[in-house]
């Protein structure tokens, strides 16, 4: 099966599922949901089957490659393939999607997102857009042609805009437009850089083919401008401070399931793009801007955590926590150490599951009360202990408790930071302490104490909700104790990236050696 187009099939299956679900009649909402779930499970099967052909020992090279001419006159090709980092991100998307679809089963029937009246959206459109977004995300993580990457980067805004603007909360139109404008601005900057590559690059039939471009020297000044064009677009998508302000509005108004799509999958395109394009294509520029980007990452870590502490809206709290977590990921990438970049890539996966757990469980709770306000809850653990316990588990994962998956990735980022930028490491540790505050304060206010009025009859997690929560908890525990299988896939690709940017890990200072040098 060496020549089997795994990545194309992984994109086409959800698109076919979206078409089939969209063709069902309005009264067949349950059928549309089932079609979408089956399509996502088949996609997961294809991605898992691809693992049998992916050689993790050779994860530094692009594998499962498909390369066909698309627009020959402009040097554009339809080129897909994955290295260790790309495959892990495709796997994250494929694993999360069935969980998200199962969690969203009653999104349009209950809670603040229930769709009623002639203005409400249909279940068919809802699940179809989610599947389209899955297909485009897989394409983004597998794209080896820069122009193809850009097309998918822009196209994936459409389904997310529809999901927020049509199915979101009371302020959905404002949040959807803000999301679109911010990301279109980033896309415009990337478009300028993409067009510039056509004139400044090697040209030819494969002018945008990534393996060809990484060998080309754009010149110092040109490369730095091109780097900024790509980086700002990715920083907006990530989101990195000060480009983050669209995320809290979008996540607050989106359904919890779509919030997971937004933060767990779509935003990962930003940090993935930094590793996939910014560093390999413009190594000197990446080294030049790295100290400034490290500062932005530290601000994101501390700002996101501090603002999260003061939130009264549960979904906004989770959104600002994500801003802080993405700061850790960007920090790990741009300290340019093997521990930092491996930890950042692993963090992308672990953040996806930890945030999915917290946001989906919070969504189950909000569907019972119909309120996002933390003050609307209190003493929930007395009537719904499984819900409260699951919320606590997901919260502890988000504060990186040892033994849970985010801990090892955050620890690796910090180790990588201390080896090159010790002072930055101390500031980053402060973000870990602040995370404990916003998680534990949120748990205390919602789950402990006396039962507040209106929560007396809160039901515990139902069977479908347990089916959603259980695999998330299982993955967090499994990767918390045994992350080696993923790191074995990630590490070779990280080593290749560091070689491309001409960075090596700083040599640890031995006390005896330091003392000897001081005597000299």
> How do residues 441-453 score in pLDDT, each as one tens digit?
888 888 887 777 7
Low-confidence ranges of the chain (pLDDT < 50): 111, 116-120
Give the gyration radius of the chain's Cα atoms.
Answer: 22
Query: What is residue 451's DSSP assignment?
Result: P
- Residue 332 parent element (H or E): helix 314-334
CA 465 to CA 454: how far, in whole Å? 21
pLDDT in tens, 144-197: 988 999 999 889 889 999 888 888 788 888 888 998 998 888 889 899 988 888
Distances (CA, A) of 349 to 5, 177, 182, 208, 271: 24, 28, 25, 28, 12
DSSP string, 71-110: EGGGTEEEEEEE-HHHHHHHHHHHHHHHHHHHHTTTTTTS
Tell me if 85 sits within 8 A of 143, measured CB to CB: no
Picking from 386, 392, 404, the residue whose alpha carbon sits closest to that of residue 466 is 386
Q: What six digits make up the tokens of 229?
A: 């064009």
Tell me if 226 sits within 8 A of 145, measured CB to CB: no
pLDDT of residue 117: 35
Q: What is the pTM of this model?
A: 0.87
Segments making up each domain of the chain, as ranges: 6-114+123-515
pLDDT in tens, 64-97: 888 888 888 788 889 999 988 999 999 999 999 9
Q: What six digits make up the tokens of 442?
A: 């949120």
pLDDT of residue 512: 53
pLDDT of residue 120: 43
Residue reference for tokens 């059928």: 31
pLDDT in tens, 365-390: 888 777 788 888 888 888 888 988 89
A 10 A CB-CB count for 463 gives 6
């Amino acid at each position: 099966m060496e020549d089997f187009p795994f990545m194309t099939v992984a994109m086409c299956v959800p698109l076919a599922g979206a078409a089939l679900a969209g063709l069902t009649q309005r009264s067949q909402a349950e059928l549309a949901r089932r079609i979408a779930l089956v399509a996502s499970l088949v996609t997961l099967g294809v991605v898992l089957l691809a693992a049998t052909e992916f050689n993790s020992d050779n994860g530094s090279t692009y594998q499962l490659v498909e390369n066909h001419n698309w627009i020959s006159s402009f040097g554009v090709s339809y080129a897909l393939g994955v290295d260790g980092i790309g495959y892990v991100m495709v796997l994250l998307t494929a694993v999360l999607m069935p969980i998200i679809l199962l969690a969203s089963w009653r999104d349009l029937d209950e809670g603040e997102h229930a769709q009623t009246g002639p203005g409400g959206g249909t279940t068919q459109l809802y699940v179809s857009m989610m599947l389209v977004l899955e297909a485009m995300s897989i394409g983004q993580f597998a794209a080896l042609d820069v122009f193809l990457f850009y097309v998918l980067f822009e196209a994936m805004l459409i389904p997310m805009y529809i999901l927020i603007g049509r199915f979101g909360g009371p302020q959905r139109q404002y949040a959807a437009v803000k999301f679109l404008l911010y990301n279109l601005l980033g896309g415009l900057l990337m478009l300028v850089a993409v067009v510039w590559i056509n004139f400044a690059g090697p040209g030819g039939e494969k002018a945008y083919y990534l393996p060809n471009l990484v060998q080309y020297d754009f010149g110092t000044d040109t490369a730095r401008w091109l780097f900024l064009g790509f980086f700002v677009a990715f920083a907006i998508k990530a989101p990195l401070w000060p480009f983050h302000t669209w995320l809290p509005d979008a996540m607050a108004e989106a359904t919890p399931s779509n919030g997971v799509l937004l933060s767990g999958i779509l935003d990962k395109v930003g940090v993935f793009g930094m590793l996939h394009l910014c560093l390999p294509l413009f190594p000197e520029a990446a080294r030049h801007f790295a100290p400034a980007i490290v500062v932005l990452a530290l601000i994101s870590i501390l700002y996101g955590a501090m603002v999260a502490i003061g939130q009264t809206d549960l979904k906004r709290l989770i959104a600002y926590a994500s801003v802080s977590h993405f700061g850790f990921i960007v920090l790990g990438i741009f300290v340019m150490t093997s521990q930092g970049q491996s930890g950042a890539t692993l963090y992308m996966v672990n953040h996806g599951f930890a945030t999915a757990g917290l946001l989906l469980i919070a969504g189950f709770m909000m569907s019972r009360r119909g309120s996002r306000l933390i003050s609307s809850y209190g003493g929930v653990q007395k009537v719904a202990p499984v819900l409260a316990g699951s919320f606590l588990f997901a919260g502890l994962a988000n504060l990186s408790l040892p033994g849970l998956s985010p801990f090892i990735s955050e620890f690796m980022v910090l180790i990588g930071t201390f080896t090159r930028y010790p002072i930055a490491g101390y500031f980053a540790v402060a973000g870990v302490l602040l995370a404990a505050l916003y998680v534990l304060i949120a748990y205390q206010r919602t789950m402990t104490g006396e039962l507040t009025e209106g929560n007396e009859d809160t039901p515990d997690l139902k069977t479908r909700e347990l089916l959603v929560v259980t695999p998330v908890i299982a993955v967090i525990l499994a990767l918390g104790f045994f992350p080696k299988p993923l790191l074995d896939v990630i590490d070779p690709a990280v080593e290749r990236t560091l070689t491309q940017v001409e960075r090596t890990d700083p040599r640890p200072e031995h006390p005896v050696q330091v003392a000897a040098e001081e005597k000299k």
